[in-house]
Amino acid sequence: MNTVANNPFQIWVDADACPAPIKEILYRTARRLHVELTLVANQSMQVPSSGLIRLITVPEGADVADDKIVEMLTPGDVVITGDIPLAARVVEKSAIAIGVRGELFDDNSVHDRLASRDLMEQFRSAGVDTRGPSPLTQKDIQTFANLLDRTLTRCLKKR
C-alpha cells in the first residue's frame, strides 16, 4: 500500500476539522519528504495536484471518516487529528497520532485526554459552560510543525 519512495508509512489526515495552516504544512512536508498524504473527509475540498496527495471523500455521518482512517492505516502510519477518540483508536493499532496543536498521543496521554474529554462532556450535559477550544495560535502551528518534523524523521530512519 505504501509505495511512494518505499516509505514504510504514510500520513493520514482527519481533514474535516483540520485547520488550513496545518494542512498547508502537511502538503509541503509530503512533497519535501516524498511521503504519501491522504486526507479523509465527508465533504469535498481542494487539495494540491500531486501524486503524493489524495483526498478520500466518505459519506456524512458520525465517525465515518474516522472509521475509514482506522480501516486503512497500518502500524507505523502517522495520523493527524484533533479527535481524541480517533487518536485512541490509532494508538491501539500501533500507529502514531498527532494532534493539530502539536500533541503526540501515546497509550498514557490519549487515555488521560479521553477521561478529560468525557468529564467535560458530563459538565456540558449538566448545563455548565465549558467554553470550546481556544483559537489556533502561531505558537500552536509551530509546535505542530516541530513535532511533525521530529516524528517523521524518526519514521524515515526506520526504513
Mind listing the pLDDT tens digit for each residue in 11-59?
A: 999 999 899 999 999 999 999 999 999 999 999 999 999 999 999 999 9
CATH number for the domain whose boundaries are 4-157: 3.40.50
Task: Tally DSSP H helices, then E strands, for the chain.
Answer: 5, 6
What phi and psi, each to the nearest 5 degrees, are found at residue 47?
-130, 150
| Per-residue pLDDT tens over the stretch 119-138 | 567 666 777 776 766 789 99
pTM here is 0.84
Instruction: Return mean pLDDT, the chain.
Output: 87
Domain ranges of the chain: 4-157
Burial 80-96 (b: 16+ CB within 10 A, else e): bbbbbebbbbbbebebb
Cα–Cα distance, 91 to 129 (Å, whole number): 30
pLDDT of residue 4: 47
Task: Give the per-residue pLDDT at 62.
Answer: 83
